[in-house]
C-alpha cells in the first residue's frame, strides 16, 4: 500500500475508526510496521479520539437539540458561549493529553509495573522466610514501539537483582495475545513469555528471571499470537550490564 492511496482513501482515519475492510486493514498494517510516518499519524489520531471521548464522558460536549428547540435568542447565545467554553476545554485537554499526561503516565507505568511484579512474585512461589519478600528497586526497561530512533536500550543488574521487568509500548494491532523471546548474540533463546495481553494502559508487561539473562547484547522479538496466524510485530535490542 502506497502513500497516495493512503491519503486519497483516508486510510488512517478509517483504520482508527475500525471501518476498513479486512483486506485493506491487513495491507495497511503490513505497511504500518515499516513506516514511521504513518505510525505517528495513527498514534496522533488515536490520542485525538481518546481526548474527544474523555471530554464527552466528562460532559464538556453539550447536546444542543434541547436548547435550540426553545427558540429563545438568549438560549442561542448561551449555547454559543457554552460551545466556545467546550472548545476551549477540549483544547486544554488536548494540550494536557499530548504534553503533561505522557510524563505522568510514564511515572504511573513504573508504579504499576512494580505492583505487577510483586503480585507475580507472590503467586509464583510461597514465601518461606522473611528474606523471600518482594524485591526493592527492581530493574525496569521500557521499550517504546517507535521507529524514530535506533538507540539501544541498556540496563544494569546488581548481584541482588532477582528479576527484570520489561515494559513494551505497542501501537494498534489486530492481535490480542503476544509472545516475547530473548536471544543471545549466538542466536540462542535464553527466555520467553507467552500469552501476554495489554494492560490497563495498552502496554505489555513481562517479568523475567535475572539469573537467565546473560551479560551483553540481547535481541527481543515480539510476536502476535492470537488470532492466528502468528507473525513478528516488533524487534528490540537490549544490553545488560552486571555489577
Tell me the pLDDT tens digit for each residue of 38-72.
888 888 888 887 777 777 776 665 554 444 444 44
Q: Supply the mean pLDDT for the chain.
A: 77
Mean pLDDT of 19-29: 86
CA distance 194 to 186: 22
pLDDT at 82 over 80: no
Q: How far is CA 40 from CA 1, 46, 69, 172, 235, in A?
A: 17, 10, 42, 11, 18
The residue among 181, 146, 151, 202 whose CA lies nearest residue 32 is 146
Residue-range domains of the chain with CATH: 3-102 (no CATH), 135-242 (2.60.40.3350)
At CA 43, angle to CA 37 and CA 44, rounded to 5?
90
When mean pLDDT is compared across 175-179, 196-200, 221-225, the lowest value belongs to 196-200
pLDDT at 26 over 50: yes
195 phi-psi bin (left φ>0, alpha ψ -120 to 50, beta other): left
Using pLDDT thresholds of 50, 70 and 90, give the confidence band for residue 206: very high
Residue 17 carries which DSSP code?
T
CA distance 5 to 101: 34
Kindly report the pTM of this predicted structure: 0.44
The pLDDT value given to residue 175 = 93
112: number of Cβ within 10 Å: 17
Amino acid at each position: 500500500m502506497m502513500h497516495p492511496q493512503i491519503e486519497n482513501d483516508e486510510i488512517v482515519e478509517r483504520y482508527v475508526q475500525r471501518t476498513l475492510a479486512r483486506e485493506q486493514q491487513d495491507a495497511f498494517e503490513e505497511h504500518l510496521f515499516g513506516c514511521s510516518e504513518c505510525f505517528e499519524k495513527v498514534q496522533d489520531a488515536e490520542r485525538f479520539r481518546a481526548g474527544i471521548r474523555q471530554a464527552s464522558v466528562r460532559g464538556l460536549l453539550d447536546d444542543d437539540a434541547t436548547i435550540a428547540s426553545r427558540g429563545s435568542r438568549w438560549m442561542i447565545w448561551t449555547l454559543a458561549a457554552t460551545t466556545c467554553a467546550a472548545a476551549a476545554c477540549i483544547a486544554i485537554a488536548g494540550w494536557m493529553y499530548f504534553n503533561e499526561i505522557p510524563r505522568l503516565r510514564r511515572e504511573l507505568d513504573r508504579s504499576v509495573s512494580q505492583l505487577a511484579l510483586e503480585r507475580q512474585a507472590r503467586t509464583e512461589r510461597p514465601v518461606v522466610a522473611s528474606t523471600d519478600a518482594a524485591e526493592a528497586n527492581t530493574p525496569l526497561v521500557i521499550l517504546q514501539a517507535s521507529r524514530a530512533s535506533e538507540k539501544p536500550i541498556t540496563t544494569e543488574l546488581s548481584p541482588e537483582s532477582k528479576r527484570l521487568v520489561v515494559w513494551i509500548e505497542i501501537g494498534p494491532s489486530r492481535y490480542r495475545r503476544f509472545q516475547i523471546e530473548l536471544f543471545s548474540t549466538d542466536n540462542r533463546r535464553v527466555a520467553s513469555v507467552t500469552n501476554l495481553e495489554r494492560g490497563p494502559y495498552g502496554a505489555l508487561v513481562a517479568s523475567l528471571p535475572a539469573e537467565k539473562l546473560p551479560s551483553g547484547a540481547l535481541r527481543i522479538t515480539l510476536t502476535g499470537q492470537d488470532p492466528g496466524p502468528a507473525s513478528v510485530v516488533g524487534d528490540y535490542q537490549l544490553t545488560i550490564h552486571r555489577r
